[in-house]
């Protein structure tokens, strides 16, 4: 299976699933529309995002567009089961939505098939271009490798999904999956960024060797690299940033400033420049955010910025790609 063209920048749809805060339907639609207007044609979602809300909102907008003009990915591994007697409580997993369904880890072939069918219904589509196994490093890596990956290979062979892959925060877990199955893509979260590049040592070379593409996400490191000036209360890995991490981010920002480049612009473009990276996926909770990210991806960045980062010990020389 050849992976479809994804474009340099993709849209991550967790935000329109009410990640951390509620968003009304009009703002969600406007945000996806801003991505489309900026030329983005790759959209990534998951049942996990807002207990299906992200898929429903994304599908509703994309229904207005020709199917052959966009690429959509969703995720498998967790199915959504209805709650027998909903209490009106909110979801406890970071999304501001009613907890009227519950996530259940099910990496079996039947669970994967059900997940795909449910996602197609929520999206209102007849096919999914890319299916990723979602967070097996959190819920059960051995089970995921043993059950879910063969199931995904089977669904791809049957033509029920296009490309297959795995999405995770752990570069080691992703390496094990790449070794265990014939994957088309991985979705790498936060492990190859301007701040830190643990995936560069062995995961990305393995992907190059095996012809596995990378959708790079989490490239702002929980927002630490998302602003031109790094705030003192910045977060890293969803917690207050440790002093050494904060100092490194500030040094990167200062170096960028000397070359007239904003830190988020450098962060986006560095994340896109490795040869195996097919796209950088970023989220947005307003139209302005995704428009700004699209502009940052095309802003000129002088090559001297990267070499200066190397000279200051902020980047390894082998990580600079023409």
pLDDT for position 322: 52
Residues classed as catalytic: 49
Q: What is the SS3 assignment for 101?
A: strand
Mean pLDDT (the chain, rounded): 96
What tokens were used for 206? 């393995």
Per the listing, tokens 């039947």 go with: 110
| CA–CA separation, 48 and 50 (whole Å) | 6
Region 43-51: what's the mean pLDDT? 98
pLDDT for position 124: 97
pLDDT of 266 above 80: yes
What tokens were used for 307? 């070499």
pLDDT for position 312: 97
Region 242-250: what's the mean pLDDT? 96
Predicted confidence (pLDDT) per residue in 77-120, tens digit: 999 999 988 888 999 999 999 999 999 999 999 999 999 999 99
Q: What is the SS3 assignment for 263?
A: helix
Give pTM, 2 decimals: 0.96
Q: Does domain 9-229+265-302 have CATH number 2.40.70.10?
A: no
Using pLDDT thresholds of 50, 70 and 90, give the confidence band for residue 171. Answer: very high
pLDDT for position 137: 95
pLDDT of 237 above 90: no
pLDDT for position 321: 76
> CA of 58: how far to CAs of 31, 62, 67, 300, in Å?
10, 6, 13, 31
- Buried b or exposed e, range 212-232, using 16+ CB within 10 angstroms: bbbbbbbbbbeebbbeeebee
pLDDT of 2 above 80: no
Q: What is the SS3 assignment for 39?
A: coil
For the beta carbon of residue 64, count every other beta carbon within 10 angstroms.
9
Region 113-133: what's the mean pLDDT? 97
pLDDT of 286 above 80: yes
Region 193-209: what's the mean pLDDT? 97
Using pLDDT thresholds of 50, 70 and 90, give the confidence band for residue 239. Answer: confident
| CA–CA separation, 44 and 62 (whole Å) | 12
Residue extents of the structural domains in the chain: 9-229+265-302
């Amino acid at each position: 299976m050849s992976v479809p063209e994804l474009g340099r920048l993709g849209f991550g749809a967790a935000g329109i699933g009410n990640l951390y805060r509620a968003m009304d339907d009009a703002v969600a639609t406007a945000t996806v529309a801003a991505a489309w207007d900026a030329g983005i044609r790759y959209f990534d979602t998951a049942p996990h995002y807002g207990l299906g809300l992200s898929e429903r909102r994304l599908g509703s907008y994309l229904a207005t567009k020709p199917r052959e003009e966009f690429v959509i990915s969703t995720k498998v591994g967790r199915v959504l089961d209805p709650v027998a007697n909903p209490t009106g409580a909110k979801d406890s997993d970071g999304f501001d939505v009613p907890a009227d369904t519950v996530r259940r880890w099910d990496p079996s072939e039947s669970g994967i098939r059900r997940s795909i069918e449910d996602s197609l219904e929520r999206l209102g589509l007849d096919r999914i271009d890319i299916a990723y196994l979602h967070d097996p490093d959190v819920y059960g890596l051995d089970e995921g490798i043993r059950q879910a990956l063969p199931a995904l290979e089977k669904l791809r062979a049957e033509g029920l999904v296009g490309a297959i892959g795995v999405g995770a925060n752990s570069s080691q877990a992703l390496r094990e999956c790449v070794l265990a199955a014939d994957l088309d893509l991985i979705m790498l979260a936060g492990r190859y960024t301007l701040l830190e590049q643990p995936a560069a040592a062995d995961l990305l070379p393995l992907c190059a060797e095996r012809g596995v593409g990378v959708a790079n996400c989490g490239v702002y490191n929980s927002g630490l690299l998302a602003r031109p000036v790094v705030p003192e209360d910045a977060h890293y890995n969803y917690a207050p940033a440790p002093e050494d991490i904060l100092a490194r981010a500030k040094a990167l920002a200062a170096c960028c400033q000397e070359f007239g480049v904003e830190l988020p612009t450098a962060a986006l473009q560095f994340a896109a420049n490795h040869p195996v990276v097919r796209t950088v996926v970023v989220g947005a909770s307003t139209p302005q955010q995704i428009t700004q990210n699209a502009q940052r991806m095309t802003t000129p960045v002088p090559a001297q910025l990267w070499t200066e980062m190397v000279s200051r010990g902020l980047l390894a020389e082998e990580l600079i790609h023409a």
